[in-house]
Structures are given as C-alpha cells and as structure tokens.
C-alpha cells in the first residue's frame, strides 16, 4: 500500500484552469471518491494522477517517489474506464493478460495471475468466453480484473458504473469496494453520483471549478457540509438565509424567513450574534404534522401545496413564510394528506448551519 500526495497541482488547457492549486492526500489503502458536477475537474485530476495529463505546476508523489514527470506506463497504476475499453476480438483471459504481456511477464506466471484476478472478481469460469458473450456487469468485472492483474500501486476508476443499469450499479459498487479492501488497494474513484460516493468511499472529495471544496468521511460531507455549494450538491436540501440570534458551544439560535430555529453547536464553526449564515434543512429530516404541534421547538406553520407519491417516499411541497420547502416522507401513508395548513418540525441536530463567507 502507498499514499498518493498531490501538492499545489495546477492544470491549464489554454485559458481554462482545469485544476486550481489542488492539495490532496490519498491515504495508503484508502478508497477516495472524487465527486462533483460535470466539468469540475475530477476526471482531469484522475488522468493527471495516471500520467495522461502533465501538470503546469505542482507535484505528485506515490509514497516517497516523485512521479510528476513519469510517463503513465512507468507509474504502475491500474485504470478502469467508463467505457470498459475491452478488446472485442480477444477472449476474457486474453484481455486480462494484455498488460502482463506488454510487460514481458513469463507465460506461466501470466496464466496464474490472470486466473487469480478473474477469481477475485468472481469471473474465474469465464476465461475462454468472448467479450460479446458477456453482460455489462460481467464486462465491468473483466475490466476490473485487467486493472488488478498488474498489481498496481494505485487503482484509478473513472465513472466505472455509469454505463450500467440501476440494479447492476448497486451490486457492482459493493463488488468494487470489496475488491479494493480485500487487496488493500489505494484507490481513487471518480463519480458524479452522490449515492454511489456515499456508499463506496472511505472519504469523499467534493470538487467544483477545479478546486476541492471539502474532503471528509461520507457522513461528515452529508451531515456537516462546510459550504453552500457542498450542501446543495450532496443530495437535496432546503437552503435559507439566516442570522445568528444567540450562540453557545452546544446551541445556536437562528432567525430565518420562516421562523426561528435552534441548531446544535459545531466545533468547526464559530459564529457570533448577528453573523449571517445559511441554514440547510434536508427534506427527509422535516416532519409534516398537524397544527396541534405548533408549540414544538423548531416548528414552522405553512400550507401543504401538493404531494407526489413515489412509492418509497412521498415528495411534499410546503410553503411557509414565502419559502417553498421540499419535504420527503419516508414509507408514506397509503392515504394522501389533505392540502392546507400544516406544521413542519425538524430536530436541532438536523438544522445545519453553513458559513456565508465560505460560500463557493
């Protein structure tokens, strides 16, 4: 296992800054997810680590070795592409063996390592199959085996599940995590899918505009975003502008356009009375109830405008104080709630404060 360290990485394409002073460490044996919208720089960052893009400034280290100017074939990284990139005229075994043959590995060892890699991805019986005889999920397993067989120092995955259907994505994300942990690989995985990132990663690096906005464990990124951009990108949220009314280490009271809310204090966020903040209220954290609960803490009165029943959840549109809130009711009742005046309630732990001065 090795760590991958990026220091001051800058990549420009003409006048466009694709990567803007990236400082990042992928810990040894860690599965790091690069997450962000299209064009944020995550694939460029992955290709720079692989050696396909040479940075204008900064350094890349694999362990103690500076590989910034090393060509791709000398970095010994395994790459899994979005398109699988398998040779259709070669068998499964021949596809997996390709990298070893290029490295002039002895034939007997090639046979052994190919079989071990295919068994690791549960494709041991498919060595002689043609690629066109495989399903999408099976082809992705072959692509993963091909990356593993060279015993890479770092595994790089560029949106490996985007061409699979929903059920296959779910099973393959578990499979990729299993393989990475079983082989104790240092891995960097690019995706734009928030649920995929939350399910797979040890840590998530959220990117925007060529910069890393936040890098944290999945729970931290979702529950305690450090900027409005991260809060808005990670799933759905209701964002309200607010002003701090009182602040203690364990409790912060905030005024918003839909009323006052009490939030739990955060050691990473220091606020004073009068400080402007963003208030993030996740739709699944809001509870729709009746006017009888108007006296509860963190309750706001409003009107239920509409409901969309989606099976496992119901999406409610709730208007309060001139704001339109989204509320997700998990395992919704069989009968649709009547439109009209209602109360939305949220627990203090689910009132998330985000600094305005860190808003990118």
The pLDDT value recorded for residue 337 is 66
Class of domain 230-355: mainly beta
Q: Which fold has domain 4-226?
A: Rossmann fold (3.40.50)
CB of 179 closer than 8 Å to CB of 10? no
The pLDDT value recorded for residue 189 is 96
pLDDT digits (tens, 9 = 90+) for 196-248: 999 999 999 999 999 999 999 999 999 999 999 999 899 899 999 999 999 88
pLDDT digits (tens, 9 = 90+) for 302-340: 999 888 888 889 999 999 988 999 999 988 876 666 667
Count CB-CB contacts under 10 A for residue 288: 20
The pLDDT value recorded for residue 335 is 64
pLDDT beneath 50, residues of the chain: none
The pLDDT value recorded for residue 168 is 80
Single out the residue of 262, 234, 235 nearest to residue 246, CA to CA. 262
Per the DSSP assignment, residues forming a β-bridge with 60 are 6
CB of 31 closer than 8 Å to CB of 190? no
C-alpha count within 13 angstroms, C-beta hemisphere, residue 67: 26
The pLDDT value recorded for residue 271 is 84
Residue 270's Cβ-count burial label (10 Å; 0-12, 13-18, 19+) is: exposed
Distances (CA, A) of 255 to 196, 240, 259, 357: 35, 10, 6, 18
Q: CA triplet 24, 214, 60: central angle to 5 degrees?
A: 10
Strand, helix or coil at 337?
coil
Backbone φ and ψ for 305, nearest 5 degrees, come out as: -90, -40
The pLDDT value recorded for residue 336 is 64
The secondary structure of residue 91, as a DSSP letter, is B
Per the DSSP assignment, residues forming a β-bridge with 306 are 317
CA torsion sign, 118 to 124 to 130 to 133? Answer: negative
The pLDDT value recorded for residue 358 is 53
What are the residue ranges of CATH 3.40.50.300 in the chain?
4-226
CB of 143 closer than 8 Å to CB of 81? yes
What are the residue ranges of CATH 2.40.50.140 in the chain?
230-355
Distances (CA, A) of 34 to 9, 12, 217, 275, 338: 15, 19, 12, 32, 42
Kindly state the tokens that stand for 157.
């995955």
Single out the residue of 144, 203, 193 nearest to residue 172, CA to CA. 144
């Amino acid at each position: 296992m090795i760590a991958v360290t990026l220091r001051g990485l800058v990549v420009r394409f003409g006048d466009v800054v694709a990567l803007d002073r990236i400082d990042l460490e992928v810990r040894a044996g860690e599965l790091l997810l690069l997450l962000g919208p299209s064009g944020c720089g995550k694939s460029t960052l992955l290709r720079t680590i692989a050696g396909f893009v040479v940075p204008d400034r900064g350094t890349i280290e694999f362990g103690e070795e500076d590989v910034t100017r090393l060509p791709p074939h000398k970095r010994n990284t395994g790459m899994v592409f979005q398109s699988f990139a398998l040779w259709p005229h070669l068998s499964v075994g021949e596809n997996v063996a390709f990298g070893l043959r290029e490295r002039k590995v002895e034939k007997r060892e090639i046979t052994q390592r190919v079989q071990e890699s295919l068994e690791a991805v549960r494709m041991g019986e498919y060595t002689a199959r043609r690629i066109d005889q495989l399903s999408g999920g099976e082809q992705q397993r072959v692509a993963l085996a091909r990356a593993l067989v060279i015993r890479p120092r770092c595994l790089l995955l560029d949106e490996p599940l985007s061409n699979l259907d929903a059920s296959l994505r779910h099973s393959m994300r578990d499979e990729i995590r299993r393989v990475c942990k079983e082989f104790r690989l240092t891995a960097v995985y690019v995706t734009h899918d928030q649920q995929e990132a939350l399910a797979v990663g040890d840590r998530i690096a959220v990117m925007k505009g060529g910069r890393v906005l936040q890098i944290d464990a999945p729970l931290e990124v979702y529950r305690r975003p450090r900027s409005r951009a991260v809060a808005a990108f990670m799933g759905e949220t209701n964002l309200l502008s607010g002003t701090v009314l009182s602040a203690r280490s364990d409790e912060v009271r905030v005024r918003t356009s839909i009323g006052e809310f009490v939030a739990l204090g955060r050691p990473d966020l220091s606020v004073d009375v009068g400080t402007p903040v963003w208030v993030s209220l996740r739709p699944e954290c809001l509870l729709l109830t009746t006017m009888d609960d108007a006296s509860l803490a963190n309750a706001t009165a409003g009107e239920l405008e509409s409901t969309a029943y989606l099976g496992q959840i119901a999406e409610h549109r709730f208007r309060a104080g001139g704001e339109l809130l989204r509320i997700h009711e998990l395992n919704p009742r069989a009968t649709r709630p009547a439109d009209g005046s209602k109360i939305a309630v949220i627990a203090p732990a689910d009132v998330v404060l985000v600094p305005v001065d860190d808003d990118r």
